[in-house]
Amino acid sequence: MPRVRTRHIGICVFIVVWVYYFLPHDEAFSYGAGRGHEVDHGATAAVARYMNDPAHTPPILATQSSFDWSSVNFTYPPELTPKLPAPVTKRPRIQHKFTSDSRSVQAIQEARRLEVKRVFRKSWASYRTKAWMKDALKPISGQYVDQFSGWAATLVDSLDTLWIMGMREEFYEAVAAVATIDFGHSTSPRVNTFETCIRYLGGLIAAYDLSGHEVLKAKAVEVGDLLYAGFNTKNGMPVDFINFNDAKQGTGLAVESQVVSASPGTITLEFSRLSQITGDDKYYAAVSHLMDVFHKGQNATELPGMWPMYVFMSQKDVVSGYEFTIGGNADSLYEYLPKAAAMLGSIDLSSKKYEAMSRTFMDTAMENLFFAPMIPGDEDILISGNIKILADGPSLQPESEHLSCFIGGLFALGGRLFDNEEYLNTGAKLARGCAYAYKSFATGIMPERYNMVPCPGPDRRKHCAWDAERYAIEAAAQPQYRSHLPKGFTTAKDARYILRPEAIESVFILWRITGDAIWRETAWNMFEAVANATDTEYANAAIKDVTVLGSRKEDYMESFWMAETLKYFYLCFADTDLVSLDDFVLNTEAHPFRLSNGS
């Protein structure tokens, strides 16, 4: 694939070197990856000084929504215990101890950082002019769509990215707009609990944690109380969709029967952090009882240690089911366990469960889901598949997806949190697996869903030699095989790329944890491929088929493009102290929550 930006970056490097060393510049814009300050975590502080300069900070007050969600009189009030654990006073070091890069390397990374910021600026400017206060921009037509209750999902989701990138004017314009959002009115009669939690509540908490502006906290409390109303049920379990009008009445909501396990499993971080910043235990208490159900059922499933893809919260049944994955429908349930352990620590029994659940699921996944694919080269990689429990026992389905690519970073994080080198090494191999999938396809981007051939033998994670005959047999057995697929891949079942962040998320975490410069180079190769293939007049669009060059685009750009994908790319090339993994934990929408330190 032609790298249309390579020459542009070469020129940029020369300019950046000259500007960086010979002209005065604002500290907020001069990160230069690898120039980490080991003690004072100066990058985040430098941005804060710039962004909170009193001369450029307008007074913004929250407009009260048309309905006060804290006024709901619950028919089934959740229990108010356990109380929030005491703040953690000591945590293991997560990030690598970075030292200064050479001037030439600094200049290259600075040019890359600025190029990511340029792409973000273009998307943001188009959203501002074409879709302001709407949920998402349509990047080809310039139209807009409201798919998440009409509360300006892209705007709220992008607040912390604006802050991290030092875009002060745009940030305060966005905050002023957020202050007017009416969370008492929705464009849809049913509000999605999962999406509202990770995008809106997560976005507001992170923007508050970074900036300290009370208007963001006030709006976060409004959304938190709205979501808390979803726990007004007979059994204390949250609903998957909140009936807006019924929730206002307080008469009680009916918990759905079957839901994807990720939905109830992805509330812990947001509710726990909201309790921490407000001092109100009710949010933590509600989600703690929810996660007790998963804790108690973890070893009683068909694949002990993991939960099925679908659960039945109306019966508090997280055990029944025979399909297991860390991919779509289940992913962030697993993601939040080590991250909750990082946020809450292991001081008391109510929070210690997160470390226990983390270790148990990680051991189970390593033993059952991860496999070394048979590939022509000698790369030491792992791919995460799926498991079905059949009559004769567990059966590996060697199908993976882009959504599964978060797992490499999560295992690396778990390796540092729990002092486990096997987790860390496994995470690196999984992240390399997704990077391998990216570079294998014509566009330099991996497909949404694909199949590979597992290495034979009892140890699925052991690298094996390429066997062309076996590959041909396996490929021929797949109805969706296409002859132009890269060797090793037997399908691209869903050949789209919809601007997803999971692969670059893991690359970012491996860079920050290991300090190995290969991860930055991997990130840049990925960014060039994505930016080139998805570019439109207004922003960036999903593409139909990553297996061919010049694929048609879709008029589709979800808020996670600016909230997650571009943020992770940016942080790969920014100062390593900016959003340090020792100071923040990121939710599944890449929103950084500050880790309390007990001081």
Binding residues for Ca(2+): 588
Q: Is 27 a catalytic residue?
A: no
Contacts of 125 (CB under 8 A, 6+ apart): none
Q: Which two tokens stand for residue 364?
A: 């189970």
Q: Quote the CA–CA distance of 417 and 585 in Å, as a whole number.
A: 12
Query: Exactly one of 101, 115, 331, 558 is catalytic; which is it?
Result: 331
| 162 CB burial (10 A radius; 0-12, 13-18, 19+) | buried
Query: Exactly one of 209, 474, 502, 558 is catalytic; which is it?
Result: 502
Output Rg (C-alpha) for the chain, integer angstroms.
23
Quickly tell me which residue has 């875009």 as its tokens: 167
Phi–psi pair at 260, nearest 5 degrees: -70, 145
Q: Is 401 a catalytic residue?
A: no
Nearest to 413 by CA among 95, 179, 105, 16: 95
Three-state secondary-structure class, residue 124: helix
Binding-site members are 588
Long-range (24+ apart) CB contacts under 8 A made by 550-555 are 551/443, 553/140, 554/140, 554/496, 554/498, 555/138, 555/139, 555/140, 555/141, 555/143
CA 204 to chain centroid: 15
Q: Is 222 a catalytic residue?
A: no
| 21 CB burial (10 A radius; 0-12, 13-18, 19+) | exposed
Quick check: bond before 82 cis, omega within 30?
A: yes
Q: Are 217 and 235 in contact (CB under 8 A)?
A: no
Nearest to 361 by CA among 424, 296, 307: 307
Angle at which helices 103-130 and 168-178 pack, to 10 degrees?
40
Count of other CB atoms within 10 angstroms of residue 553: 17
**E strand spans, 398-514:** 399-401, 449-452, 489-494
Query: Exactly one of 135, 225, 448, 554 is catalytic; which is it?
Result: 448
Give the ranges where 308-390 is alpha helix by DSSP (H). 331-344, 349-368
Q: Are 400 and 383 in contact (CB under 8 A)?
A: yes
Q: Is 195 a catalytic residue?
A: yes
Catalytically active residues are 195, 331, 448, 502
